[in-house]
Structure 1
Amino acid sequence: MASFKKTFNGLENTFEAFVFWSRWVQAPLYGGLAIGSFLYLVKFFQELLHLQHVLLIEGEAKIMLIVLSLVDISMVMNLVVMVTIGGYSIFTSKIDVDMHDDKPLWLDGLDAGMLKIKLATSLASISGVQLLKTFVDYRESAIGDKPEVISVVMEIGIHMVFILSALLLSVTEKTVHSYHAIGHKHKEGLEEE
């Protein structure tokens, strides 16, 4: 019986080590996101060159649309950085950046819940920029080229869903952290007695 238990414990430990190691399967995904961000940088500079050309020819609305595209690309890049660095450091392996002078402030105290909130608020912000682009384009385009009202209403609905999701995630995370803080204080009180 002791031999069986020892064998079972050995198999269990091996399996658990394999499951723990499997987190490294995500590492190539984060590497791919980093490569994707470099490729997206090319798109940013294409838009910037397009802006230079449009600046001399087009009106203010067209310039505003291109500038909003640049803002949009920048916000998407921020999102990719958060997912890449935050996801890797939470789910794969700790990144030792505590001694770096240029360590991003958002990495302090980052956990899975906070990462979700940051991602949700980033998505809401990106959606807001897209909605603003739609309104500027809708206002400035010719009658025949205007997007259908239903598509504008759908974009507003999608934006509101992103905002509501970010709000609900924030409330949930605050509730969970408050619950843990109360539990921690209660445990400290019991230890003092």
Structure 2
Amino acid sequence: MTTPVTSRLSPLSYLIFSSRWLQLPLYLGLIVAQGIYVVQFVRELWHLLVTTLFHNGIDAASGGESAETTIMLTVLGLIDVVMISNLLVMVIVGGYETFVSRLNLDGHPDQPEWLSHVNATVLKVKLAMAIIGISSIHLLATFIKADTLGSQTIMWQILLHLTFVVSAVALAYIDKLTQPSPRHADAH
């Protein structure tokens, strides 16, 4: 019979190790936030459907934009909501698995492929890539309505997007540097 690991820890060590469960309310809060994004998605989709199908006049509701531009901007908004929701899933599932407790999903048909090799560094790179995707959607929307925005606004959005890209590349490079090379891994 094996002794549980918790009985071998000192009280202070047990308290420190158990403090990881304080993150649980944070992840539960992110699940609530994801529910709010689902409501937002349905609301925007409903508005798009009602405006285009039943009112047959998206031009009047768009403040002078063409129907195609309005539909494109609304669809980009829907994609943005989906990408943010994907980001939330990565943070909730990956963060919980990495920092709180195992989910024990081995063999489950719906287990995300990336979860089998997730760690804090992989999670950071994935999050950075998701943020770049979200920023790209916002930048595309900015270019679509560029004639209504000032050049300062566009410049700052481009600089912010490039900052996200450089940060993601730096994170990926640092991750590559900290991973053992295949030759080194085979020696152990």
TM-score (norm 1): 0.83
5+ long unaligned stretches in structure 2? 1-8, 59-66
Q: What is the Cα-based RMSD across aligned positions, in Å?
A: 1.5
**Structure 1 residues 14 and 183 mapped into 2: Cα distance closer, same or farther (>3 Å)?**
farther
Match of 2:149 in 1: 147
**Residues in 2 aligned to 1:184 and 1:125: alpha-carbon distance in whole angstroms:** 33
Residues 8-157 of structure 1 mapped to structure 2, 5 A cutoff: 13-55=10-52, 56-58=56-58, 59-139=67-147, 146-157=148-159
Match of 2:178 in 1: 176
Summarize deviations over 1:34-63 as a string: whole Å, max 9, x none: 111111110001100111133232210000
Identity of counterpart residues, as a percentage? 36
Tell me, what secondary structure is at the counterpart of 2:149?
coil
* Displacement after TM superposition at 1:185 (Å): 3.6
* Displacement after TM superposition at 1:178 (Å): 3.0
Worse overlay, 44-53 or 86-95: 44-53
5+ long unaligned stretches in structure 1? 1-11, 140-145, 189-193
Report which of the two structures shows the higher radius of gyration computed on alpha carbons: 1
* Displacement after TM superposition at 1:95 (Å): 0.7
Number of equivalences: 169
TM-score (norm 2): 0.85
Runs of 4+ displaced beyond 4 Å: none
**Residues in 1 aligned to 2:83 and 2:113: alpha-carbon distance in whole angstroms:** 17
**Residues in 1 aligned to 2:31 and 2:131: alpha-carbon distance in whole angstroms:** 19
